[in-house]
Structure 1
């Protein structure tokens, strides 16, 4: 039997739900009054004969039931006597015993004409089960139903990612529905995959969490993909409804954190596999500008028309009312004092925030969290929100410069020094090697967790990372401004991943190059010290021990810094017989060949022939399937003008022969053939590039006819267009709703 955790609703949510419940029960519309000045009236109906029905809604979650009974007896009953309604109905989220109900009935007689006009938690649950359409209409109510919450606590989810379950739970408490949800939900249901894109902090991950919760409540198993798509394929179960979730699938801050070997092909293959599976869904998030970069770099991603699978979360999605709900939900659900919450009922406090041109949900959440956990002067929280909206960096700047101790700042610097989350084991080893105490480390983590740092467990390891990408962005800028601190950090580098982050920093901040060039000797010492370091622990594929990857980073960094020392380290890596043979990422191999081919230094030019030969042998080592052939073709196309034409032609001939076999089989058997639908889509796209595919590929027309419908020309699910709904009258209605919502922060409970 479905139940609802009404305690997780806000006061405003509760009143809106009660309005819909009693309108459905009584069959007539109810007036709703703003909290605070209602004199005991939340909802009212005036009958034609002059009689009056009054409904009072008491969301009672922070005080015991006995205090509710006392409040009704001592305060509410006086209001009711002044009103003298024909009928008075009380609805409360508190669980009422028979004794409590009898006492309330006695206090409100004769205006409560029967005890059945007193609705506690169980009675409201029964009405919500009766009127399921109301539950679906109120997204936040539905997301707090027992089925959703129990699904999030299911053992299979907790086993894979307890942190994700906690994150989903937190999201559901503060989420404010907006137009992006409807677009993304429609897209996910229609295409089974949805790429959520947008600017930093706009709410991409929040939207993804809500979509995941929706499907989890429908008995879908939630699979979080952390670093490698093989995680999804390994856990794929044809018989089980599953939703796969891949946050920041292209990296958090730059494309340098790029897709691994054939990851672009595997990504598209998984999306196609999901598209043809009735019981599978796939949700991905990325920053919009990184998605644009990826489509430029990876031809397959561009050809796939990612825009047809992309929902862009835009500031236009946040109407006046949505902004008000976001602010209200974060204040209401926070641990701030009652007095401080009541400050936000003042229009002079909330209006500048809601109307701010830089309104950003992440800044609201982060500033409130700061006030809860760190701020020495929390009564300034509204001023701090405005400051942070004016200058988004200021939220982290205020914490780092005014509230953190030296050890805590050093921990932030250590986490920043690598380009991804880092295991606690590695943090501990690096920390103690720098003469820091474990007690100090654990204390620093406890201070930072929840605001700037998060910890989570995966594959039996505890990992640390920044709470969200904006913290990494801030730390990069902070260190580039505090150059002495950055140079001191580099002096302590001992791992390859830290040197790699230098290259990433140069790629996203041009001013970093000037600093590094001026201190090249320091960088060279760090690179020499770190080039053969053991890789950091990872729960997925540990790319840091890939010599080809390391060589590519050192070649690129050596070229950027014009450093013979760093290039010599790369030379030594490539001298290893299996450096390219054991490469993981084809883009590393391509860049190595390109750099050596275009190098001015004779030492690098001399390495080019052997590297090219090793690269060609590596990519041709296994051409046993269409995806491997397509990867080889893409590899050689990137090295056009470098790879001998005979090698390119050999791959083309083999692809044509493979395509002929696959098309012939599909034309005869269609979906019943041994070929995967997603692969056939690629094969037919390849064949269509020929001027006369029907003549070259037997059965081409028949094969095309047997393919499921194409979605190339389907409508896009993209940004919200501002239309007639954004009228002056609707804005006035939204303004009244927000005023009523914020006024409810003046709480009787």
Structure 2
């Protein structure tokens, strides 16, 4: 058996595979010996390439319920999560099942799963957990979507709005149809969770309330959640734009209002769009402000004509001021990116730019000179001896693994 794995065509495929992990190799070997001892190498390679059968075997036959519940709860989070947050969610899930939620059981589950199905990573701001590799999340996606009771209990015990948002994102993504159907069947629980958690602090939601409102309205539009629409629309009372941090969040939430067919949203749509346009065009004094506003209004798709006109006028004014400054020669502190954008707009808009802007030619000449004098970084290539060292390290890795597993 050692001879089989010692061939470079085999061990390099193993150690360089993105799913490579010593415990995965050990589990694959154990499964291979039980099923087909004559084809161990292919079993290991197949499990690395498509490890679904391996995860299914572990979940169905090797894990205790507490560990499975950790994997289920972790699925509702996007990416990594702190151990404290996951533990809180695990307790809540166990409570819905009327199961023991002793801390010892949670820690034991983590010990069982670590380095096989979950990764535990200490960072400066805490200890974080995540699935060990993407194939495990893919398997858990299928596992969760296929169990009505599991989805029901996850929704009933949800502790963060971001978890509902993540489930919704997964349901609308690749192979999400079955999970979307589960959420639709449990729309009452989805609605209750959104209303309960909408205004609660969530460390995974770093934006203002507009992100939550956007997700909630999109879910409501598909699942017809009247109660959620009422909660969200209350956030648009008065001068709601004063609470906005990010322009793109504002655009997203106004778009969500625009597509929502609920009577309350339809009645308030024009006022909300007008307030959003006022906020986006409030300061157009710089090139960055004006062009960003133009882009965001275009993305909005339903911007008032007056707002688009104001932005276009501001851009034309800024271009004229810049070209006038070039009439008397070169300038200092030039923003070359902005100058190039201005020249592109002029070229697209005017057949004879020089007749409109006397400083145009000087600006273009300076821009071309700047481009020609830029230092171009050289391509960085690995030296051949470095590649040789990499392959040698890989060979040592596979030999150590085989020795550890005592393969004969």
In the alignment, does 2:313 pair up with 1:653?
yes
In the alignment, does 2:217 pair up with 1:570?
no
| 1:431–1:705 CA distance, 2 compared to 1 (3 A) | same
Cα distance, 1:396 vs structure 2 = 3.1
Distance in 2, matches of 1:745 and 1:422, equals: 35
| 1:528–1:625 CA distance, 2 compared to 1 (3 A) | same
Cα distance, 1:500 vs structure 2 = 0.8
Unaligned segments of structure 2, at least 5 residues: 34-39, 96-100, 380-390, 404-408
In the alignment, does 2:18 pair up with 1:362?
yes
Distance in 2, matches of 1:668 and 1:453, equals: 65
* Correspondences of 1:460-479 after superposition (within 5 Å): 460-479=125-144
Contact 1:548–1:588 under 8 Å retained in 2: yes
| 1:454–1:609 CA distance, 2 compared to 1 (3 A) | same
SS in 2 for 1:536: coil
Contact 1:687–1:697 under 8 Å retained in 2: no
CA offset digits 1:328-375 (Å, max 9, x no partner): xxxxxxxxxxxx65441369x949x96x9xx98223x14x43234x66
CA offset digits 1:628-680 (Å, max 9, x no partner): 2111101111234x32212101001111222333455578676x622333333
Cross-structure match for 1:196: none
Contact 1:547–1:574 under 8 Å retained in 2: no
SS in 2 for 1:377: helix
In the alignment, does 2:158 pair up with 1:493?
yes
Distance in 2, matches of 1:344 and 1:667, equals: 73
Cα distance, 1:560 vs structure 2 = 1.2
CA offset digits 1:698-729 (Å, max 9, x no partner): 4233223223338xxx9xx9xxxxxxxxxxxx
In the alignment, does 2:341 pair up with 1:677?
no
Contact 1:665–1:673 under 8 Å retained in 2: no
* Correspondences of 1:327-726 after superposition (within 5 Å): 341-345=2-6, 350=10, 361-363=17-19, 365-366=20-21, 368-372=22-26, 377=30, 380=33, 382-388=41-47, 391-434=50-93, 436-508=101-173, 509-536=176-203, 542-543=206-207, 546-575=208-237, 577=238, 579-640=240-301, 642-665=302-325, 673-692=332-351, 693-707=353-367, 708-709=370-371
Between the two proteins, the alignment pairs up a number of residues equal to 367
Contact 2:69–2:90 under 8 Å retained in 1: no
Distance in 1, matches of 2:69 and 2:326, equals: 60
Cα distance, 1:610 vs structure 2 = 2.6
CA offset digits 1:362-393 (Å, max 9, x no partner): 23x14x43234x66827746343243266443
Distance in 1, matches of 2:135 and 2:296, equals: 34
| 1:445–1:614 CA distance, 2 compared to 1 (3 A) | farther
| 1:596–1:686 CA distance, 2 compared to 1 (3 A) | same
Q: What is the TM-score of this pair, normalised by structure 2?
A: 0.76
Distance in 2, matches of 1:502 and 1:667, equals: 58
Cα distance, 1:745 vs structure 2 = 5.5
Cα distance, 1:556 vs structure 2 = 0.5
Contact 2:161–2:193 under 8 Å retained in 1: no
| 1:423–1:572 CA distance, 2 compared to 1 (3 A) | farther
| 1:745–1:465 CA distance, 2 compared to 1 (3 A) | closer
What RMSD over aligned residues (CA atoms) do the two structures have, in Å?
3.7
Q: Comparing both structures, which one devotes a greater share of its residues to strand? A: 1
SS in 1 for 2:18: helix
Unaligned segments of structure 1, at least 5 residues: 1-339, 718-736
Distance in 1, matches of 2:109 and 2:135, equals: 20
SS in 1 for 2:349: coil
Q: What is the TM-score of this pair, normalised by structure 1?
A: 0.44
SS in 2 for 1:581: helix
